[in-house]
Structure 1
């Protein structure tokens, strides 16, 4: 991929970045620029970058991969990692460490927050197969059953969950994103209700059902938004598992959908460059409006529609490696967690 002349001049002039050739991929990219005085994004969704926002003491609070982040009712930013020394890291909005704790999860991956009365609850997913419900200070309240052990899966089906979502009635939806690509539904007590999806190429099936969320943008018609990452899409279902529609996002290997107000946000772990699929270090953030139209791609090319069809979306500047999650605060600032990003801490995008 060639960086546009306008983007190249703007980035090099402001950041003084040098070019680096990568022979194995056959294209030229820029070193990570200092964008603190530059904004990224498109339209009304532009952001000032704070790369150092979440940096901590690597000896006392190390990270491997910063997988997901949520904000609790007190405005604290809670992040899950796969570092056994601190599976959970809690920040304040200035990026300072408040506390950390662990359940010794070697594959801490998914983090969902839900409300029970006035109390915040966390659902933490280890993609080795464990899902626990805890208080915000780490007290374990429940563990969901393994579908292989309760007769839900056949003996030859794999189970490596990646994410959960919690409905208003307490039902819990588990995305088996690295396993057999089912969404598994339990009631609030962890009792099995149903599964749907599975791996395949039919509309109602998935390929890497990496994320799941309750889409409450229409309060009279709640739906389930599910990621099908290798299909470059989100797929919508009723809360009882009936397929409704697909939102195709060509070029974008999206992670979990994050609903905030009228918008849907997602980290793009990889994008396609030229003929390659899942190109390393090609992530960005994508933002959809209430009609599920892409309106901004911070770090990526501006979204273009031709005759109602979205054109291929790719990285524009090499700010991000592999965007894994987006957390949105009440001021609409974004906090970006990354996988496989040289043990990087989260980056803040300040809304401007």
Structure 2
């Protein structure tokens, strides 16, 4: 065989081999991600990943972004998203769809459950249309809070893009204007404006993306507000009437809303600081803090480390999550993760191990 013929034969074999390596059978293209079944987290808070837990028929129950999830007194897991074919999806803990409703929230974002002496209500924030809705668990709208200019709290030109609510022990409604003007607004249970505090800035009592808010009742005699300042990588604590108390600094973690389960504090991390320590796309994880507000586990993130009492930079460790937007903790201490901008991913379950 001459050299020219040998080169032609070699080229043919190389081309066929390259094609074989490039081609992936259907079953490989659609195989479950390798992270499925993996154990993540640290210390006493470790979890098995179930990435397909919440998957549904997207032609019947489509989603764009899974924004938030809460668990009602019956153990039903209620998720809000921004797909108006079904803003609300209600699951049982096995991942079975129980119900769906909601066509009026094009930016469906914040979801808060309020148990008022045994009667449960939802508060839905829609930053796209600048409104907050109180509904029953079937979706009937009972109260609508609109642009604060209507009650003299804002100028008409001020942005109002509410991202989250919290309900105080006395029924006071707190609204975090996290994508708008960075104020925390207080309303009576009937929706009457009381006052506002916070605002944009880098001061201790100010916010940079006041994305989430929750009532911290771990000290039952002295409940406080814990409010996200996401671009500051922090939660900020206030009295129930809006006086600044302290900051929990979480370096590297662009946290979403604080979620309490017993004495433990959980949060989805939407981004972490990877490349050049900037906010990096597709870099989310979950962070977990104990009753002393010390980080004890970062499922999907680096192990928390403290040096001389100071928390060190936390970043994504494994590319399991893209942008963790919220977490929900069930009665068995499993975590359900809702993701934003994650290729229309349904909620992911982290099974406590």
Q: Same fold (TM over 0.5)?
A: yes
**Separation of aligned partners in 1, 2:328 and 2:294:** 20
**Separation of aligned partners in 2, 1:103 and 1:216:** 34
Displacement after TM superposition at 1:149 (Å): 1.7
Equivalent residue number for residue 20 of structure 1: none
Equivalent residue number for residue 58 of structure 1: 58
Equivalent residue number for residue 262 of structure 1: 263
Equivalent residue number for residue 87 of structure 1: 87
**Separation of aligned partners in 2, 1:299 and 1:342:** 18
Displacement after TM superposition at 1:275 (Å): 1.3
Deviations 1:170-209 (Å, cap 9, x if unpaired)? 0000000000000001010101111000000110000000
Give the paired residue count.
Answer: 322
**Separation of aligned partners in 2, 1:266 and 1:68:** 11
Deviations 1:83-118 (Å, cap 9, x if unpaired)? 010010000100011010013211000000001222
Displacement after TM superposition at 1:276 (Å): 3.8
**Separation of aligned partners in 2, 1:125 and 1:254:** 18
Deviations 1:133-170 (Å, cap 9, x if unpaired)? 01111111111232022110124421100000001110
Deviations 1:249-299 (Å, cap 9, x if unpaired)? 000000000011011100000000141421000000000111111000000
**Separation of aligned partners in 2, 1:247 and 1:350:** 27
Q: Are 1:161 and 1:175, in contact at CA under 8 Å, matched by a contact in 2?
A: yes
Deviations 1:48-77 (Å, cap 9, x if unpaired)? 010010000000000000000000000000
Displacement after TM superposition at 1:225 (Å): 0.3
Equivalent residue number for residue 15 of structure 1: none
State the superposition RMSD in angstroms: 1.2
Q: Which consecutive segments of 4 or more residues in structure 1 shift more than 4 A?
A: none
Q: Are 1:263 and 1:289, in contact at CA under 8 Å, matched by a contact in 2?
A: yes
**Separation of aligned partners in 2, 1:248 and 1:274:** 20
**Separation of aligned partners in 1, 2:261 and 2:168:** 15
Displacement after TM superposition at 1:33 (Å): 4.6
1:275 partner SS: helix
**Separation of aligned partners in 2, 1:148 and 1:86:** 30
**Separation of aligned partners in 1, 2:246 and 2:165:** 20
Equivalent residue number for residue 308 of structure 1: 309
Structural mapping, 1:245-284, within 5 Å: 245-284=246-285
Structural mapping, 1:122-201, within 5 Å: 122-128=122-128, 129-201=130-202
**Separation of aligned partners in 1, 2:142 and 2:293:** 36
Structure 1: which 5+ runs fail to align?
Answer: 1-31
Greater Rg, structure 1 or structure 2?
A: 2
Structure 2: which 5+ runs fail to align?
Answer: 1-31
The answer as to 2:336 corresponding to 1:351 is no
Structural mapping, 1:205-224, within 5 Å: 205-224=206-225
1:149 partner SS: helix
Q: Are 1:35 and 1:48, in contact at CA under 8 Å, matched by a contact in 2?
A: no
1:345 partner SS: coil
Q: TM-score if structure 1 supplies the norm length?
A: 0.90
Equivalent residue number for residue 236 of structure 1: 237
1:108 partner SS: coil
Q: Which moved more, 1:268-277 or 1:187-196?
A: 268-277
Q: Are 2:37 and 2:50, in contact at CA under 8 Å, matched by a contact in 1?
A: no
Deviations 1:292-313 (Å, cap 9, x if unpaired)? 1100000000000000111100
Equivalent residue number for residue 98 of structure 2: 98
Q: Are 1:145 and 1:190, in contact at CA under 8 Å, matched by a contact in 2?
A: no
**Separation of aligned partners in 2, 1:134 and 1:311:** 41
Higher helix share: 2
Equivalent residue number for residue 45 of structure 2: 45
